[in-house]
Amino acid sequence: MNGLEVEIVGLRLRNPTILASGIFDETGRSMLEVAKAGAGAIVTKSVSMQERQGYPNPCVAEVECGLLNAMGLPNPGIAAYADEIAMGRQGGVPVIGSAVGSNEDEIAEVAASLCSAGVDAVELNLSCPHADGHGMEMGSTPEIVRNVCDIVSARIDKPVLAKLTPNTTSIASLAEAAEEGGADGVVAINTLKGMTICPELRAPVLSNRVGGLSGPAIRSVGVRSVFEIFEAVEIPIIGVGGVSTARDALEYFMAGARAVQIGTAVRSQGTAVFSEVCWGLTKFMSDNGYESISDIVGVAHDDRA
Amino acid sequence: MTELRVFTIADQIDEAKACRTVRFRGSLHADPGQFVMVWLPREDEFPMSVSYVGEGFGLTYKIVGEGTRSLSTMNPGEKVGIRGPYGRGFEVQGRRMLAIAGGVGMAVIAPLVDLAMEERADVDLVLGAKTESELIMKERCEMAGANVHISTDDGSSGTKGLATDIARRLLQTAEYDCVCACGPEKMIVSAFRLSEEHGLPFQASLERYIKCGIGICDSCAIDGRHVCSEGPVFSGDVLASLEDLGRRRLSPSGRIVSLD
């Protein structure tokens, strides 16, 4: 058996690297390229019931150690996107559909449509920091998270993952609420709310003014979040935020994640980042006598050392 | 990381009807075919090819929407934000190039002619436009040393017909090492077929809706390739694999729509 194989929320992944939502996943053909490059699974672009154009440019700004984006959840709507999912599935790795909506019923409707389109699991985007009523507002309090997870998990048979926001005082409370609502797993973290201003032109760079910060800048926030969530819930955790090397992934595994998502690193390393991280993980495991990723999960916690 | 830089407009001139060139103070190095994202604060940001490289670099654009209209009214001394250059540009392959430009595509081909001359290559340039008043940068390329052949749809200048009609005749009578094209995608498809018939290496610059400019958001995808990072200039072997070439593109929401 390949030591990189993991099982999470009933999905068998050939390795624990997953393409994060919003990167390279507007089209099925790009998903195929990512699968070919070695990712263990793919999360789709966040999809809504109706078509969304997204925000005007600029929708990204590169900052020190990270990337600010306010794409505005552009997507053609679930009906048109179904074809892209069908194509993405030809890559032979699990495809996780990312659902957004302005209320719990809409998210449940999108989740059900994603399942009809053939996704292997659904990730609820309860944490986009820059989309008018479609993001963080749907995941800002434990009550809302519990309710959404409850309604969606009653509606669909496929595993439900709740992607949580770090823009809160206690992400562990949000994870507990997701678990209580029946989510099969949690994904942490989404981007951190940020802004950059161009002094010479006296204006925020992003057209939406506010965006989500990703990349190496947020990794320590993500690792801390996963560490706290691991102590609060039993359901599995997928770590995301600033992973570009095996070492970064190991931080997440040791904090308690069973898999990691990779997004912004595709900017600097291309899709080769997935195989590079996997290669480094294999080497670390053989150098340190680990036989599987699950042996590493959570070892940074005192009672597991 | 490519930081946002702020540049001051030095000058703006009309190239043709609804087509202008803006020149900046300062320097920006780019390969012919590479592009920058131009930001007008509180208005818009859009991709533009670099038509003059180095000191006093310039961008040539067609006025097609509010953003470009707004840029066209800006005066010397005013500032814009620029990030880039991004993407892959053209390469001069061999010693004899056939370059084919359609309309404002000439803004990309002109610096390629400059580069070819620097590398001591001979250039036959076919410049096509709807009508004489839309021909741009003809004198520039003649002065640089290219043999310029003109075609217009209405016959108001040069040969009446398509740029690729002239290219077809040139390919029958002269030897080339490579063919480079920039212009409407239908023209690119025809030019690509011609180069394939003659077994010549081909490069062309494609246009799609670009949002991030840095190869992550997938908005400019064409059959799993990204115009902003893997293009905008693609070689013939990549173009041959693109089913959507000349047919389909993505709308801003990611909906697949016909190219027309």
Nearest-CA distance B255 → chain A (Å): 5
Q: How confident is the model at residue A1 (pLDDT cuts 50, 70, 90)?
A: very low
Mean pLDDT of all residues in A92-104: 95
A152-168: per-residue pLDDT in tens? 999 999 999 999 999 99
The answer to the question of residue A63 being in a domain is no
CA distance B98 to B55: 27
B211-242: per-residue pLDDT in tens? 999 999 999 999 999 999 999 999 999 999 99
Chain B residues in contact with A75 (beta carbon < 8 A): 253-254
Of B166, B185, B205, the position where a domain reaches its end is B205
CA distance A231 to B50: 54
CATH number of residue A180's parent domain: 3.20.20.70
By Cβ distance, the residue of A26, A203, A263 closest to B221 is A26
Its ipTM equals 0.90
Query: In the structure encoding, which two tokens stand for residue A196, read together?
Result: 């950059």
Say whether A59 is catalytic: no
Dihedral of the alpha carbons of B111, B112, B118, B122, in degrees to the nearest 10: -130
A211-222: per-residue pLDDT in tens? 999 999 999 999
B161-196: per-residue pLDDT in tens? 999 999 999 999 999 999 999 999 999 999 999 999
B35 and B55: one domain?
yes
**Which percentage of chain B shows pLDDT scores above 90?**
98
CA distance A19 to A174: 23
Instruction: Give the C-alpha distances (Å, rounded to integers) separating B178 from B121, B195, B198, B201.
Output: 11, 8, 10, 5
CATH number of residue B24's parent domain: 2.40.30.10
CA distance A16 to A292: 11
- What is the average pLDDT score of chain B? 95
Whether pLDDT at A136 is above 70 = no
Q: Could you list the residue range(s) of the whole structural domain that residue B170 is in?
A: 90-205
Write out the residues of chain A at the interface with chain B, using a CB-CB cutoff of 8 A: 22-27, 29-30, 32-33, 45, 51-54, 56-62, 64, 67, 69, 71, 74-77, 80-81, 198, 200-203, 205, 207, 263-264, 266-267, 270
In chain A, the number of structural domains is 1
CA distance B79 to B76: 8
**b/e A98-120 (16+ beta carbons within 10 angstroms → b):** bbbbbbbebbbbbbbbbbebebb
The one-letter amino acid at B175: E
The answer to the question of residue A68 being in a domain is no
Q: Could you list the residue range(s) of the whole structural domain that residue A102 is in?
A: 6-51+75-193+215-304
Within 10 angstroms of residue A286's Cβ, the number of other Cβ atoms is 11
Helix axes A78-88, A104-116, angle to 10 degrees: 40
CA distance A302 to A290: 18
Q: How confident is the model at residue B203 (pLDDT cuts 50, 70, 90)?
A: very high
CA distance B164 to B166: 5
B197 and B105: one domain?
yes
Burial class (CB within 10 angstroms; exposed 0-12, middle 13-18, buried 19+) of A81: buried
The answer to the question of residue A29 being in a domain is yes
**Which residues have a Cβ under 8 Å from the Cβ of A199 and sit 6 or more positions away?**
none
B201 and B236: one domain?
no
pLDDT at B62: 94
B70 and B21: one domain?
yes
Mean pLDDT of all residues in A162-189: 96
The answer to the question of residue A199 being in a domain is no
CATH number of residue B189's parent domain: 3.40.50.80
Length of chain B: 260
B46-56: per-residue pLDDT in tens? 999 999 999 99
B19 and B77: one domain?
yes
In chain B, the number of structural domains is 3
pLDDT at A302: 81
B81 and B94: one domain?
no
Query: HEC states along chain A?
Result: CCCCCEEECCEEECCCEEECCCCCCCCHHHHHHHHHHCCCEEEEEEECCCCECCCCCCCEEEECCEEEECCCCCECCHHHHHHHHHHHHHHCCCEEEEECCCCHHHHHHHHHHHHHCCCCEEEEECCCCCCCCCCHHHCCCHHHHHHHHHHHHHHCCCCEEEECCCCCCCHHHHHHHHHHCCCCEEEECCCEEECCEECCCCEECCCCCCEEEECHHHHHHHHHHHHHHHHHCCCCEEEECCCCCHHHHHHHHHHCCCEEEECCHHHHHHHHHHHHHHHHHHHHHHHHCCCCHHHCCCCCCHHHC
The answer to the question of residue A60 being in a domain is no
B193 and B255: one domain?
no
B200 and B210: one domain?
no
B119 and B133: one domain?
yes
B146 and B249: one domain?
no
Whether pLDDT at A128 is above 80 = no
Chain A residues in contact with B79 (beta carbon < 8 A): 200-201
B194 and B234: one domain?
no
Mean pLDDT of all residues in B66-89: 96
Of A128, A149, A198, A278, the catalytic one is A128
Whether pLDDT at A188 is above 80 = yes
The answer to the question of residue A61 being in a domain is no
Question: Residue B244 phi/psi, 5° resolution?
Answer: -85, -5
By Cβ distance, the residue of B2, B39, B218 closest to A26 is B218
CA distance A213 to A128: 11
A256-270: per-residue pLDDT in tens? 999 999 999 999 999
Whether pLDDT at A305 is above 60 = no
Sign of the CA dihedral with B186 first, then B187, B193, and B195 last: negative
In whole angstroms, what separates CA A27 from the centre of its chain? 17
Answer yes or no: do A201 and B41 touch at CB < 8 A.
Answer: yes
CA distance B188 to B162: 12
Instruction: Give the C-alpha distances (Å, rounded to integers) separating A294 from A166, A291, B190.
Output: 25, 9, 55
**Which residues have a Cβ under 8 Å from the Cβ of A36 and sit 6 or more positions away?**
A91, A271
B42 and B119: one domain?
no
Q: Are A74 and A25 in contact (CB under 8 A)?
A: no
By Cβ distance, the residue of B80, B215, B223 closest to A267 is B215
pLDDT at A2: 74
Within 10 angstroms of residue A141's Cβ, the number of other Cβ atoms is 14
CA-based nearest residue to B233, from B76, B94, B49, B77:
B49
The answer to the question of residue A59 being in a domain is no
Mean pLDDT of all residues in B195-214: 96
Nearest-CA distance A239 → chain B (Å): 20
The answer to the question of residue A207 being in a domain is no
Whether pLDDT at A129 is above 80 = no
Of B86, B102, B126, the position where a domain reaches its end is B86
Whether pLDDT at A227 is above 80 = yes
